[in-house]
């Protein structure tokens, strides 16, 4: 009996898997009325079924997580409906929403069984428990039907994803990768469009529901008793939670956010000043981004980085000010100028204060300080303020405006990282500073509109024609700058002359080079366990190829994406690009996988070697290469294991000794390439 239960209930290992928790959460949020209105959680459940078919998740474990999540979401919706039904008819117009009308018809026709049927009807699933609560359905009866609805939903959609995965695997490998890419991109685009569209329409209803919930809590006996004992504090809380004007709840939330971001920005600045681990991550990430450069990616990210150019920002600023002035939206003008002014002043002062030099790997020549990123700051302070203005003048919905504000800020900041114009801490600090400037601009706008309510006027006649002509010229000028972002390019860093070693051990004893490589975050450290002395890279690759090692593709964005898809489809190519490691703050220069003779291909068992060309040469002129040899799948280094035994076997096969040179040190086989005599053993301190 116990063995049977352990096969059915979620395993302890599954409880630690973020994928199970995430998919279960998505199912629960879709079943909860406040989020199910817009969140397509079923897409995540279907994707989980595909992962089950690929062997990445367990079927029964995922079914339990999805079923429990959906049941809890339905229970939360029923609780909301029971506690707020007295206020629903007076405050909300939820009956005007199509999913609610369908849920009501479904419940009237099928009763409790509507909970089971509604699970498979998208957003209707979140409204059926609400209808049940508003109809006065008995709690015990609801819970029985709610629990009964969870398992069919979980089994049905996880099974659908499993079948979908089976269908994809029947395609040829090349078509399968293309199908997976197309399916992922199509699902992401469809889900994003659907979510934004639904959320823009449903946001007023969601806000009314939250307001009704707060009113209900405020009217509870305990809240009344607290107000009687502490009248002044109760009045303060009530004024801070007042949703009827800006100086109430909106100002409270804005103030809390401002204080939080101010502390976050101060923490980033403190970490930079004290050389916290983020500074080491900065250097590693800069090296990685530089390695990912391709002409196409550089050209694409140059367009995004050009959005922060002063001429583009100036053209869009004049364009916005012109239309707002013609429409007499003075409060929005004041807010925009306040946000941009705060941006320019704060960035200038902080750059002077920190004086952080730019990376030598940057694509363009930049003369100002690196910390914080001015582009990242303006991406939030200016562009997010523009999208806020478009929402306030009712040209965009609130969610769509927020999405595009976040997307533009993210792409501009990412472009600065990719082109190595800034470090990660620079961009993070710029985003935080820009958010502070944005909040100040919004506060100025709302405060002025509270004191001087806007009286917009339509723009017609000659004024409209002249403004349209000016708009074409301004947008055209900004577009030309985006298309031709001509700036001086940084010259490639000069190659330093190699350093000759009298003995290999000097690399550690005299020059104090690190004896281990780390991951990008620095969280994991792997000791060097192999070294080569080779006259050239080509000679090293040829010698290893003769021993059954295949050179991996260079680390590029498409290469890493292809490796991830190969791992998902269980069709890993021998030359798949592995996740890089960092030695001396540099990504590995060369990566290889042992393919002949075929190794144990179970997960995490393929021997992979990551090598770095050092700046040192031996007395005979051969370059010293250092490496880490591990067994892993190329992507998840946590699941790998040490490959020292493979390194020792390779050393013996290629004629290198592995004797211990000094007590208490770890031997590092130094393998000579294109030399008949075996080399000594390179020892680490």
pLDDT at 315 (0 to 100):
92
pLDDT band at 196 (very low <50, low <70, confident <90, very high): low
Q: Is the pLDDT of residue 164 over 60?
A: yes
pLDDT at 566 (0 to 100):
56
3-state secondary structure of 330: helix
pLDDT band at 386 (very low <50, low <70, confident <90, very high): very high
Q: Does 276 or 87 have the greater pLDDT score? A: 276
pLDDT at 165 (0 to 100):
76
3-state secondary structure of 256: helix
CA 606, 611, 613 angle in degrees (round to 5)? 170
Give the separation between CA 156 and CA 12, rounded to whole angstroms.
24
Q: Is the pLDDT of residue 49 over 50?
A: yes
Please give the distance of CA 422 from its chain centroid, rounded to a whole number.
Answer: 19
Residues 6+ apart with CB under 8 A from 621: 535
Calculate what percentage of the chain has a pLDDT beyond 90: 10
Calculate what percentage of the chain has a pLDDT beyond 70: 75
pLDDT band at 660 (very low <50, low <70, confident <90, very high): very low
pLDDT at 199 (0 to 100):
67
The mean per-residue pLDDT over the stretch 89-111 comes to: 71
Give the separation between CA 96 and CA 114, rounded to whole angstroms.
20
Give the separation between CA 205 and CA 127, rounded to whole angstroms.
13
Q: Is the pLDDT of residue 477 over 80?
A: yes
Highest mean pLDDT range out of 118-132, 223-237, 470-484?
470-484
Give the separation between CA 180 and CA 186, rounded to whole angstroms.
10
pLDDT at 424 (0 to 100):
87
pLDDT at 6 (0 to 100):
34
Q: Is the pLDDT of residue 193 over 50?
A: yes
The mean per-residue pLDDT over the stretch 287-308 comes to: 85
pLDDT at 335 (0 to 100):
92
The mean per-residue pLDDT over the stretch 226-249 comes to: 71
pLDDT band at 216 (very low <50, low <70, confident <90, very high): low
Q: Strands 586-587, 530-534: parallel, antiparallel or unpaired by DSSP?
A: unpaired
- The 10s digit of each residue's pLDDT in 487-539 is 878 787 677 788 888 888 888 888 888 888 888 877 788 888 888 888 888 88
pLDDT at 375 (0 to 100):
92
Q: Is the pLDDT of residue 66 over 80?
A: yes
Element (H, E) at 375: helix 374-378
Poorest-pLDDT segment among 165-174, 475-484, 575-584: 165-174
3-state secondary structure of 294: coil
Q: Does 409 or 87 have the greater pLDDT score? A: 409
Report whether 633 contacts 604 (CB < 8 A).
yes
Give the separation between CA 441 and CA 433, rounded to whole angstroms.
13
pLDDT at 305 (0 to 100):
92
Report whether 514 contacts 584 (CB < 8 A).
yes
Give the separation between CA 71 and CA 63, rounded to whole angstroms.
12
Give the separation between CA 153 and CA 67, rounded to whole angstroms.
7
- The 10s digit of each residue's pLDDT in 424-453 is 889 988 999 999 999 899 989 988 888 887
Give the separation between CA 84 and CA 75, rounded to whole angstroms.
14
pLDDT at 270 (0 to 100):
74
CA 16, 18, 24 angle in degrees (round to 5)? 105
Q: Does 437 or 263 have the greater pLDDT score? A: 437
The mean per-residue pLDDT over the stretch 210-220 comes to: 65
pLDDT at 175 (0 to 100):
47
Per-domain residue ranges of the chain = 2-223, 257-483, 499-684
Q: Strands 549-551, 586-587: parallel, antiparallel or unpaired by DSSP?
A: unpaired
pLDDT band at 378 (very low <50, low <70, confident <90, very high): very high
pLDDT at 603 (0 to 100):
46
Give the separation between CA 368 and CA 537, rounded to whole angstroms.
38
Buried b (16+ CB within 10 A) or exposed e, 159-194: bebbeebeebeeeeeeebbebbeeeeeeeeeebeeb
Terminal CA-to-CA distance of the chain, rounded, Å? 56
Q: Is the pLDDT of residue 550 over 50?
A: yes
Element (H, E) at 549: strand 549-551
The mean per-residue pLDDT over the stretch 79-103 comes to: 65
Report whether 407 contacts 294 (CB < 8 A).
no
pLDDT at 218 (0 to 100):
65
Report whether 287 contacts 585 (CB < 8 A).
yes
pLDDT at 172 (0 to 100):
52
Strand order of the β-sheet with 586-587 is 525-527, 516-518, 582-583, 586-587
- The 10s digit of each residue's pLDDT in 321-331 is 998 988 888 89
Q: What is the DSSP letter of 379?
A: I
Give the sign of the dihedral formed by CA 320, CA 326, CA 328, CA 334.
Answer: positive
Average pLDDT, the chain: 78
pLDDT at 562 (0 to 100):
59
Highest mean pLDDT range out of 221-225, 260-264, 545-549?
545-549
pLDDT band at 14 (very low <50, low <70, confident <90, very high): very low
Give the separation between CA 123 and CA 107, rounded to whole angstroms.
15
Give the separation between CA 193 and CA 196, rounded to whole angstroms.
5
Angle between helix axes 124-134 and 98-110 (nearest 10 degrees) is 60
Report whether 485 contacts 303 (CB < 8 A).
yes
- The 10s digit of each residue's pLDDT in 413-422 is 999 999 989 8
Number of Cβ within a 10 Å radius of residue 148 = 14
3-state secondary structure of 624: strand
The mean per-residue pLDDT over the stretch 77-106 comes to: 68
- The 10s digit of each residue's pLDDT in 140-162 is 888 888 888 888 888 888 888 88
Q: Is the pLDDT of residue 412 over 90?
A: yes
pLDDT band at 384 (very low <50, low <70, confident <90, very high): very high
Please give the distance of CA 618 from its chain centroid, rounded to a whole number.
Answer: 44
pLDDT at 341 (0 to 100):
92
Find, among 413, 420, 363, the residue nearest to 383 by Cα: 413
Alpha helices in 92-172 (DSSP H): 98-110, 114-118, 124-134, 139-169
- Rounded to the nearest 5°, which phi and psi values hold at 419? -80, 0
Poorest-pLDDT segment among 338-352, 441-455, 630-644: 630-644
Query: DSSP characters for 349-384?
Result: HHHHHH-PPPPTT-SB---S--SS-HHHHHIIIIII
- The 10s digit of each residue's pLDDT in 598-624 is 455 544 478 889 999 999 998 888 899
Query: DSSP characters for 441-488?
Result: HHHHHHHHHHHS--------HHHHHHHHHHHHHHHHHHHHHHH----P
Q: Is the pLDDT of residue 672 over 80?
A: no
Q: Is the pLDDT of residue 74 over 50?
A: yes
CA distances from 553 to 469, 559, 575, 580, 599 (A): 51, 7, 6, 12, 19
Q: Is the pLDDT of residue 680 over 50?
A: no
Place of tokens 């990445």: 56
Q: What is the DSSP letter of 345?
A: H
pLDDT at 529 (0 to 100):
85
Q: Is the pLDDT of residue 679 over 50?
A: no
Poorest-pLDDT segment among 36-40, 67-71, 408-412: 36-40
- Rounded to the nearest 5°, which phi and psi values hold at 89? -65, -30
Q: Is the pLDDT of residue 23 over 70?
A: yes
Q: Does 93 or 72 have the greater pLDDT score? A: 72
pLDDT at 332 (0 to 100):
92
Q: What is the DSSP letter of 113?
A: G
């Amino acid at each position: 009996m116990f063995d049977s239960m352990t096969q059915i209930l979620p395993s302890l290992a599954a409880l630690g898997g973020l994928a199970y928790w995430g998919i279960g959460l998505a199912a629960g949020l879709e079943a909860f009325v406040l989020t199910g209105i817009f969140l397509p959680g079923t897409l995540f459940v279907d994707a989980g079924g595909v992962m089950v078919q690929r062997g990445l998740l367990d079927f029964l474990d995922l079914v339990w997580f999805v079923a429990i999540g959906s049941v809890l979401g339905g229970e939360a919706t029923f609780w909301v409906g029971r506690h707020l039904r007295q206020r629903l008819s007076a405050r909300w117009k939820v009956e005007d929403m199509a999913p609610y009308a369908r849920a009501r018809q479904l419940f009237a026709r099928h009763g409790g069984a509507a909970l089971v049927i509604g699970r498979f009807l998208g957003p209707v699933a979140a409204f059926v428990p609400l209808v049940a609560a508003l109809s006065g359905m008995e709690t015990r009866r609801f819970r029985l039907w709610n629990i009964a609805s969870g398992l069919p939903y979980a089994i049905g959609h996880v099974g659908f994803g499993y079948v979908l995965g089976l269908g994809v695997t029947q395609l040829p490998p090349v078509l399968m990768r293309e199908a997976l890419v197309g399916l992922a991109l199509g699902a992401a685009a469809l889900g994003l469009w659907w979510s934004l569209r639904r959320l823009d329409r449903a946001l007023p209803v969601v806000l009314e529901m939250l307001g009704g919930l707060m009113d209900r809590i405020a009217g509870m006996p305990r809240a009344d008793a607290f107000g009687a004992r502490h009248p002044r504090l109760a009045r303060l809380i009530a004024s801070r939670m007042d949703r009827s004007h800006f100086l109430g709840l909106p100002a409270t939330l804005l103030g809390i956010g401002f204080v939080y971001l101010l502390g976050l920005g101060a923490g980033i600045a403190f970490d930079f000043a004290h050389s916290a681990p983020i500074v080491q991550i900065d250097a590693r990430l800069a090296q990685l981004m530089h390695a990912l450069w391709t002409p196409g990616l550089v050209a694409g990210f140059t367009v995004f980085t050009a959005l922060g150019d002063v001429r583009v920002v100036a053209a869009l600023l004049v364009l916005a000010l012109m239309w707002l002035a013609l429409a007499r939206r003075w409060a929005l003008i004041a807010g925009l100028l306040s946000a941009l002014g705060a941006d320019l002043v704060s960035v200038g002062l902080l750059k002077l204060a920190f004086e952080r030099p730019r990376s030598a790997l940057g694509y363009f020549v930049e003369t100002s300080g690196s910390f914080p990123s001015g582009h990242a700051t303006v991406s939030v302070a200016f562009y997010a303020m523009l999208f806020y203005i478009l929402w306030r003048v009712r040209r965009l919905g609130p969610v769509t405006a927020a999405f595009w504000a976040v997307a533009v800020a993210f792409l501009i900041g990412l472009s600065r990282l990719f082109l190595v114009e800034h470090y990660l801490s620079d961009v993070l600090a710029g985003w935080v500073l820009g958010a502070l400037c944005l909040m100040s601009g919004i506060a100025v706008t709302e405060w002025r509109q509270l004191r001087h309510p806007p009286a917009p006027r339509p723009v017609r006649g000659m004024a409209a024609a002249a403004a349209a002509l000016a708009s074409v010229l301004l947008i055209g000028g900004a577009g030309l700058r985006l298309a031709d972002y001509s700036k001086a390019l940084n010259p490639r860093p000069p190659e330093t002359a190699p350093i000759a070693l009298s003995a290999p051990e000097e690399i550690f004893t005299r020059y104090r080079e690190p004896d281990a490589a780390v991951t990008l975050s620095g969280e994991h450290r792997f000791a060097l366990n192999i070294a080569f002395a080779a006259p050239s890279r080509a000679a090293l690759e040829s010698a290893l190829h003769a021993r059954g090692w295949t050179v991996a593709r260079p680390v590029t964005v498409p290469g890493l994406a292809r490796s991830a898809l190969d791992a998902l489809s269980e069709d890993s190519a021998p030359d798949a690009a592995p996740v890089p490691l960092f030695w001396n703050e540099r990504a590995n220069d060369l990566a290889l996988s042992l393919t002949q003779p075929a190794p144990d291909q179970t997960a995490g068992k393929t021997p992979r070697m990551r090598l770095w060309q050092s700046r040192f040469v031996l007395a005979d002129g051969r370059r010293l290469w250092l490496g880490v040899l591990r067994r892993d799948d190329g992507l998840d280094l946590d699941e790998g294991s040490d490959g020292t035994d493979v390194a020792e076997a390779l050393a013996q096969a290629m004629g290198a000794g592995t004797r211990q040179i000094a007590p208490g040190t770890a031997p590092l086989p130094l393998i000579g390439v294109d030399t008949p005599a075996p080399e000594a053993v390179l020892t680490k301190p």
